[in-house]
Amino acid sequence: MDTLPRDTWNSFFESKEHYLKFRARWAQLNDTSDENRPLLAAAYYLLTSALRGRDWRRGFAPVTNQTKLAHGAQPLRAASQALWDCKSPYNRRAGFLAVFDGLVTEEMANAACAWLPDKIDPQQTEIESAYLSPAVGS
């Protein structure tokens, strides 16, 4: 499954206005003319893609440079680390969601992350599926 069904990702937000405020905040965070904007890690892009039901894999490309691979680079290390950062309950308690100014709650993040794979092998060269069906009762 490359994208989440509309009714699934719509359920992450309380209303259309909530979703539009989230989109506006995300645009503000990505405003490159703002010198005071926070530096966003890949996990923020992954979470935002999941909340919007988009294919989060599009933000990651495997390392293919043979020199880097020969020196130990893992093809999907960035995607693997972003997944871990996004799904880590410690990160969410430690202020990971603070950049969204309360527009993304821990419950929303948990619901979106339930659809993401738990981990990927950073040695892989591609990710088979963007989203998985969350476990029943999650």
Predicted pLDDT at 19: 94
Query: Which residues have C-beta within 8 Å of that of residue 131, sequence separation ≥ 6?
Result: 1, 2, 3, 4, 50, 115, 116
Residue 135 lies in a domain: no
Residue 124 lies in a domain: no
Among 27-31, 69-73, 119-123, the range scoring the smallest mean pLDDT is 119-123
Residue 122 lies in a domain: no
The pLDDT tens digits of the residues spanning 50-92 come to 999 888 888 888 888 999 989 988 888 888 888 888 888 777 6
Predicted pLDDT at 55: 86
Domain count across the chain? 1
Q: Percentage of the chain surpassing pLDDT 70?
A: 83
Residue 137 lies in a domain: no
Residue 136 lies in a domain: no
Tell me the whole-structure pTM to 2 decimals.
Answer: 0.79
Domain containing 109 equals: 6-113
